[in-house]
Structure 1
Amino acid sequence: MRYPAAETAEKHARILSTASALFREHGFAGVSVGKIMQATGLTHGPFYNHFESKEALISESLQDASEKALADMDAASGTPEDRLAYLHGYLSEAHRDAPGQGCMLAALASEVAREQDVRSVLTHHVAAMIDKLQRLIPWRVKKNPRSESIRMLSTMVGALTLSRAVDDPELSAEILREAREMIEASPTLPRARKSRG
């Protein structure tokens, strides 16, 4: 039985979104195709109508997560307050505690490094994030905004990753706090306007 194109597209998007969240929570090896389909509310059989293999799903789910993350960055490109809110949101306990809905770099970079077939997707995402950070932040020091963007991205991803890895809640919160303070103190960053009143 053939389904209408809109219904097929909706199921495809649902599988991608569910797989992306589960991969970020449990890793690629920790999630089976059956588990993904069950979480999506579909049976195992239709999976191969949408994807050739689990590897194809991994690649497409990373691409989907990348597009959504980059769109979030674009949405934060308004005022200095918007940009600061984006950085604070990234380095927050809420983001730390929701890996399935959070940054794919912090959740999956170490796994992708071992998956040769999908490294190009992650490489493109990292390059795009660096590019967007260069444009998102109107750097006060114009000499090398690319270098500053790479340092900022590395700090953000590293701090989030470490905050999730440690089993000491106080240390975890401290890591996030120190990373936020380091980024805010950067002499290259413009300051958000303080509200008057």
Structure 2
Amino acid sequence: MARTPASSKEATRDRIVDAAARAIRRSGYNGTGVADIMKAAGLTHGGFYAHFDSREAMLAEAADRAGRDAVVLMERVAASVPPQQALQAMARAYLSETHVKSIETGCATAALGSEMPRQAPDVRRAATRRIKEMIDLVARHSPDWGQAGAHEHALVAVSTMVGALVLARAVDDARLSDALREAALNHLTLAD
């Protein structure tokens, strides 16, 4: 039997993780089945164990990928503006109407935070690492970077953004959704 080249196997695994990262944000951890992920990746269910030891191992990688995507997006946003505008630009992008509607590709913390306490340790560890990266990114772009209290301000900013996004997505009232986002943005702008 011919062996699959490592690069092909890695590309297939990457497709599975990408499909899983989208699926967990769309349907939650418990609403995401291996068969559905494999189908979304264009593969058969039977090939799953050639790439992962368990569903939890795949979910940990998916949580890591989803969290990485959010951090990378915010890094790009920060790099696209002058340094003194980076925090506001990140907040505006994070709290945009587009992000509210982009659950499948948006911030994993906002999509999955309430489910995290019930996940396997590896899944929680991956999510925690990415949350810490987001906090550090915000801290590095805060006006008070390097001063006492900068880290605490970043914790509040990230908590405000994530909480506002969760609520903006939760309500079925477009005006309230917009008001939640705007209030958080106004607060973050005044806090600068």
| Rounded Cα–Cα distance in structure 2 between residues aligned with 1:56 and 1:120 | 12
TM-score by length of 1: 0.88
Supply the AA of the counterpart residue of 1:144: G
- How many residue pairs get aligned? The number is 187
Task: Say whether 1:6 aligns with 2:7.
Answer: yes
The corresponding residue for 1:183 is 188
Match in the other structure for 2:106: 102
SS at match of 1:181: helix
Distance in 1 of aligned mates of 2:189 and 2:137: 18
Same amino acid, percent of matched pairs: 36
Q: Which residue of 2 aligns with 1:75?
A: 76
CA distance in 2, matches of 1:153, 1:76: 15
Which amino acid is 1:9 matched to?
Answer: E
What does residue range 23-38 of structure 1 map to in structure 2 within 5 Å?
23-38=24-39
CA deviations 1:117-169 (Å, max 9, x no partner) are 22222222222222221112232893310110000010000000011111111
AA matched with 1:180: L
Contact 1:23 1:30 in 2 (8 A): yes
- Counterpart check, 1:126 vs 2:131: yes
After superposition, the Cα gap between the structure-2 partners of 1:48 and 1:116, relative to the gap in structure 1 and judged at 3 Å, is closer
**Other-structure match for 2:88:** 84
Q: In 2, are the aligned partners of 1:16 and 1:57 still within 8 Å (CA)? A: yes
1:96: how far off?
0.6
The answer to whether residue 143 in structure 2 is matched with residue 142 in structure 1 is: no
TM-score of the two chains, using structure 2 as the length reference: 0.90
Point out the structure with the larger helix share.
2
Unmatched runs of 5 consecutive residues or more in structure 1? 190-197
1:50 aligns with 51
Letter in 2 for 1:183: L
Gaps of 5+ in 2: none
- Tell me by how many angstroms 1:46 deviates: 1.1
Assess if the C-alpha contact under 8 Å between 1:38 and 1:44 holds in 2.
yes
1:159 partner letter: A
Residues in 1 aligned to 2:44 and 2:5: alpha-carbon distance in whole angstroms: 18
Which residue in 2 is equivalent to 1:158? Answer: 163
CA distance in 2 between partners of 1:75 and 1:96 (Å): 19
